[in-house]
């Protein structure tokens, strides 16, 4: 009876020193996380097997910037557009003094 679902393992054949051919099954890597806008791979996020993903720290699972699902270029564009839209709504940027030392 054939299996209906696709296997997440790949088979590697290798020859032992005795001449016998052996087969190993190795778990496939998960796909690289990509930007949701431009589909470029996200840097700083590991692509390990899903069962090992829960052992990673939080900073290795996702980036710690404002838009973690976007790459650096797309997040920069999103941040600039959000700032521009907030300025159009009438929110003014508050200027604190002459920009000198905060201790004066």
pLDDT in tens for each of the 104 residues of the chain? 556 566 777 888 989 999 999 998 887 777 888 999 999 998 888 888 777 888 888 888 777 778 888 998 999 999 999 888 877 766 565 555 555 555 55
Per-residue pLDDT, 29:
75
The C-alpha atoms of residue 80 and residue 64 are separated, in whole angstroms, by 18
Q: What total number of domains does the chain contain?
A: 1
Decide if 57 is inside a domain: yes
| Global pTM value | 0.54
Residue 64 near residue 47, CB atoms below 8 Å: no
- Name the residue range of residue 64's domain: 29-88
Q: Are strands 21-27 and 9-15 parallel, antiparallel or unpaired?
A: antiparallel
Decide if 53 is inside a domain: yes
Tokens representing residue 26 in the block: 């190795």
Decide if 41 is inside a domain: yes
The C-alpha atoms of residue 43 and residue 33 are separated, in whole angstroms, by 9
Decide if 66 is inside a domain: yes
């Amino acid at each position: 009876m054939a299996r209906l679902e696709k296997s997440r393992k790949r088979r590697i054949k290798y020859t032992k020193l005795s001449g016998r051919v052996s087969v190993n099954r190795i778990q496939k890597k998960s796909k690289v996380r990509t930007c949701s806008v431009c589909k470029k791979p996200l840097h700083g996020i590991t692509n390990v097997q899903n069962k090992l993903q829960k052992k990673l720290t939080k900073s290795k699972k996702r980036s710690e910037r404002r838009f973690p699902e976007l790459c650096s270029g797309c997040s920069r564009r999103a941040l600039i557009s959000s700032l521009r839209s907030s300025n159009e709504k009438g929110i003014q940027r508050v200027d604190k003094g002459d920009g000198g030392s905060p201790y004066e």
